[in-house]
């Protein structure tokens, strides 16, 4: 399993939200590049970055900061937030990003997914953000009628190889991951599943690894000290 410490950027700062609520924000650093370098120093090989402003506005608001992170940290970086076109995917990949995540655009403009897979292959992933089993979009501000599990199945059938599945109700809460959701998702053979939202304990990470989850995105737990990133990397990191 691969470990992805997360940096969510809003207003140029590294922040965490509670259950995706933009009104419940905690700023952890005014320098996201410095945060990335500290993660690298802890032994992290992978990094998950989200442009929260971009997710809300549909633009690459914090792309300059993200490009600096990618250029300076020496990690495999996956990026999402505001990516709504093939041009934007190409822009990030040209800047050294290893994988670009489609979120709202995947649910609202599915043709973009199939086109992106055609042109960029495994360098494109889809972030499936679920609330009450339904896909949420626009920075999690709008919940659609799309069934999250069925959406993941469709993505897999149409050539997507990696999804990042986030249970919004767990995100930023330190309440534990939705393990039952991942037990179902790993049944979709050929789909690499990254778990995100609420992961708090080493025991959870070991369970996720044992069930065949490909990666784990860690946020608040490493910022608040519930998990030590260096220890997690040593205990859980290996190839998918």
Residues catalogued as catalytic: 8, 129
Burial annotation 151-175 (CB, 10 A radius, 16+ → b, else e): bbeebbeeebbbbbbbbbebbbebe
State the CB neighbour count (10 A cutoff) for residue 180.
9
Q: E strands within 11-117?
A: 13-18, 21-29, 46-51, 76-80, 99-102
Q: CB of 75 within 8 A of CB of 47?
A: yes
Q: CB of 93 within 8 A of CB of 120?
A: yes
Return the DSSP state at 12.
T
What are the residues whose beta carbons fall under 8 Å from the beta carbon of 164, sequence distance 6 or more?
48, 78, 80, 101, 125, 126, 127, 128, 194, 196, 217
Q: CB of 124 within 8 A of CB of 117?
A: yes
What are the DSSP calls for 67-87, one per residue? Answer: HHHHHHH-SEEEEESS--SHH
Alpha-carbon distance values, 228 to 94, 131, 135, 222, 235 (Å): 32, 28, 31, 6, 11
CA atoms of 194 and 196, how far apart (whole Å) = 7
């Amino acid at each position: 399993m691969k470990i992805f410490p997360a940096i969510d950027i809003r207003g140029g700062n590294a922040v965490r939200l509670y259950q995706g609520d933009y009104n419940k924000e905690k700023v952890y650093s005014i320098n996201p590049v410095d945060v990335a370098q500290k993660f690298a120093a802890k032994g992290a090989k992978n990094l998950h970055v989200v442009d929260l402003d971009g997710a809300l506005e549909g633009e690459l608001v914090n792309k300059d900061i993200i490009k600096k992170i990618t250029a300076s940290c020496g990690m495999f970086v996956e990026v999402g937030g505001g990516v709504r076109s093939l041009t934007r995917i190409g822009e990030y990949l040209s800047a050294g990003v290893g994988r670009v995540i489609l979120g709202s655009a995947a649910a609202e403009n599915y043709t973009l997914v199939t086109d992106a897979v055609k042109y960029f292959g495994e360098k494109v992933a889809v972030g499936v953000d679920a609330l009450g089993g339904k896909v949420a979009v626009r920075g999690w501000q709008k919940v659609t009628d799309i069934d999250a599990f069925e959406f993941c199945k469709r993505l897999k059938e149409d050539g997507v190889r990696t999804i990042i599945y986030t249970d919004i109700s767990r995100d930023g809460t330190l309440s534990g991951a939705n393990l039952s959701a991942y037990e179902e998702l790993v049944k979709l053979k050929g789909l690499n599943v990254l778990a995100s939202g609420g992961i708090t304990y080493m025991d959870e990470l070991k369970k996720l690894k044992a069930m065949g989850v490909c990666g784990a995105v860690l946020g608040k737990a490493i910022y608040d000290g519930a998990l030590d990133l260096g220890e997690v990397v040593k205990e859980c990191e290996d190839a998918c």
